[in-house]
Structure 1
């Protein structure tokens, strides 16, 4: 079964094509084809890159075309030219989409119909950088592939098991009844990494207390017990929790009241400050990319050093709160761009957990470990670096739903 997966963001559209045989394998196979559209900052140009399992590559820049035209071109590389991997687009059996926010109504993967599309659209104001992009991808598939089955897999779904004490904010209860609560995000990644951790360790997932650290441009933690999410750092929106690339994470809500009252900030200005001008970017003044912040720090940039220090402090504090929810810890997992590629962040996070008996092997930590345990043999907590496979997890759910 050939499954096309779309993972949409505000400035990019990642796609891949899997050919899945039954039974569905646990480990992610190499995609037949991977395609990506990056839109430039002014949105006028689309940088298209494609690679295939056979090693074929393509790079193109399209200008002044609609996103629908750009996406149709990307799909055409599946059947034309050096990157051809199938004879006809009709060979694709189903298309899966990562949808960031599913609200209270969508906790499992669903086949997309008009009701689902309307629900995704209704939640756009809660995930403005992602839900609109997912809708655009759904419509692009309708335009390019017609009536093919499409499936939405929701990032919020894994966190639907949060107990009320963790999910409900201490606000007037009528607001809770209006759907204002902690939803949590990165759920596809957190769930995949928990399952993969159990596989790597050869243990039953139900027996493990796991903290998964999804650290990328967006960052979140999850506390996982009996295979279920029982706490997480992101909240009503993906803005809550840890310090991120350009997002503030948790701050005193009184700051917002102050800015509104004293400086007449508009809602749009607040949104821009908190989502696009804060985090590593806002503190360092250098970049939202941790690699560039580290380079500036190493050259003596004091604001970059401060950005690092705040990032580490908040990461440690977040792990501590997840630890309290679990009442112990068996496995600590690092994943996503920073988690997988920054030995310094892993080291800094783990240094504060020595009181648990957690010890990491400095040599293993430095050598870009993927899907391995970097803890020492005598560590009381296993520490894993896992390559997150969101696209593969989406493909698995699509296959399961189609078979059902």
Structure 2
């Protein structure tokens, strides 16, 4: 039995699980979230009970230090030397990585070089790796790439209609992201359907970052994120798809550089930009239902409309759909957004929610569609950490 720390650093969060492998028994788990906001949250399970702390968490380095200190403070481990390996989620592996990899100097350099393709994530992933490497010098480390699951896309789906040499020479193409989550959730959905030989799953990974995927017979055939995790649907602070001509227009009108406008696309847009309230959907939901805030309502309606358009597109690509699976922070918890999204496609595809089931809060996999719905709608809490731990054990041969 070995102890493996699975680390999932998002743009504003850090999820973690410490597991005994290969039994996949969770020793502890937790979440550092609202990183970079005025007040951050840290939650860790100690003997099955959640210990919570609200404190400023300005960046991912502070988040990692907070976690490692808590492991020893709460006697979850007596020494950090008990941790045998760490698996790190890395958002962008480009075409360099179609599978997870044992970390070495070359892998670190390649991930750093790909940071311009995932500016909110790859740097955070490397910060997390460096912090854990320093604290756990004896442990083995593995990078698990979000882009790997999407390497099954064919050329007609991953190429952009630009001069072909931009792909052959510069590797400009769709890469996708959140692949570890999409893989886990689609596998769970297939199991919930009874493990049919043929299946058509649309996975809606909706968190601070958000992406949709079309999964046919367990293989991803299309996904909403593109060259970088900025593309696709509207997110917490990211714009998602925007007419490319908006960029030079804003540069001229605002007298800003391309990098400055790109910073706006990445960090000041999405839910934050439309609502003017927050990048956190819980804050927007509170403003909508407790204050009747009109911009909060607009944010929810716009978000749902954009997600539902992708569901419609992937329904067509898959030639139908057996299940729509919601996951990640927003997908798992924002019942009103799930309702708005499904309402947008209900008449076209004969899919309907059971309102009572939709409003239930649970950490379990569950079906929330009406018994007469032609497509099953599921809520499947993602478990990227288990997938990360499995790859870590496999590659390090533990």
- When normalised by structure 1's length, the TM-score is 0.89
Structure 1 contact 247–276 (Cα < 8 Å) conserved? yes
The match for 1:378 is 372
Alpha-carbon deviations, 1:3-60, whole Å to 9, x = none?
01122245544432111235xx6xxx44435464865548xx9875533244373748
Q: Which runs of 5+ in 2 are unaligned?
A: none
Given candidates 362, 365, 388, the residue that maps to 2:358 is 365
**Relative to 1, partners in 2 of residues 1:288 and 1:140: Cα closer, same or farther, differing over 3 Å?**
closer
Q: Deviations over 1:132-180 (max 9, x none)?
A: 1111222222222214210000011111111111100001111112111
Give the Cα separation in 2 of the matches to 1:60 and 1:377. Answer: 42
SS in 1 for 2:357: helix
SS of 1:199's equivalent?
helix
Where does residue 319 of structure 2 map in the other structure? Answer: 327
Note the C-alpha offset of 1:264: 2.9
Counterpart secondary structure, 1:166: helix
Distance in 2, Cα, partners of 1:283 & 1:47: 24
Contact 1:33 1:85 in 2 (8 A): no
- Paired position in structure 1 for 2:282: 291
Q: SS of 2:84's equivalent?
A: strand
For 1:48 and 1:84, how far apart are their aligned partners in 2? 17
Given that 2:11 and 2:120 are in contact with CA atoms closer than 8 Å, whether structure 1 keeps it comes out as: yes
Contact 1:260–1:266 (8 Å) recurs in 2: yes
> Is 1:32–2:28 an aligned residue pair?
yes
- Structure 1: runs of 5 or more not aligned: none
- Cα distance in 1, alignment partners of residues 107 and 189 from structure 2: 32
Aligned to 2:299: 307
Q: Out of 255, 272, 278, which is 2:269 matched to? A: 278
Change beyond 3 A, Cα 1:361–1:129: same
C-alpha deviation, 1:67, in angstroms: 7.4
Greater mean deviation of Cα atoms: 258-267 or 215-224: 258-267
Residue matched to 1:52: 46
Do the aligned partners of residues 219 and 39 (structure 1) sit closer, same or farther apart at CA in structure 2, a change above 3 Å counting?
closer
Q: Counterpart in 2 of 1:188?
A: 180
SS in 1 for 2:245: helix
**Counterparts of 1:342 and 1:216 in 2: how far apart (Å)?**
10
TM-score calculated relative to the size of structure 2 = 0.90
Deviations along 1:96-127, one digit per CA (max 9) or x if unpaired, are: 00001001011111100011000000011111
Instruction: Mark the CA change 1:60 to 1:216 in structure 2 (over 3 Å): closer, same or farther.
Output: closer
> In the alignment, does 2:330 pair up with 1:338?
yes
- Contact 1:35–1:51 (8 Å) recurs in 2: no
CA deviation profile, 1:205-246 (whole Å, cap 9, x unmatched): x41100000111111100000211101111011111111122
- 1:160-199 equivalence runs, <5 A: 160-177=151-168, 178-199=170-191
Q: Do the aligned partners of 1:72 and 1:144 also contact (CA within 8 Å) in 2?
A: no
1:354-378 deviations in whole A, cap 9, x for unaligned?
3322222121111125411112223
State how many pairs are aligned: 393
Q: Would you say the 8 A contact 1:108–1:154 is kept in 2?
A: yes
Cα 1:328–1:365 shift into 2, 3 Å: same
1:33/1:319 Cα in 2 relative to 1: closer, same or farther (>3 Å)?
A: closer
Partner of 1:234: 225
Hey, what's the Cα distance between the residues in 2 that align with 1:139 and 1:108? 21
Aligned alpha-carbon RMSD (Å): 2.6
Q: Distance in 1 between matches of 2:390 and 2:111?
A: 22
Q: CA deviation at 1:68?
A: 6.3
- Contact preservation (8 Å) 1:371, 1:385: yes
Distance in 1, matches of 2:295 and 2:68, equals 44
Task: Give 1:245's match in structure 2, choosing from 197, 218, 236.
Answer: 236
Pick the aligned partner of 1:207 from 175, 198, 210.
Answer: 198
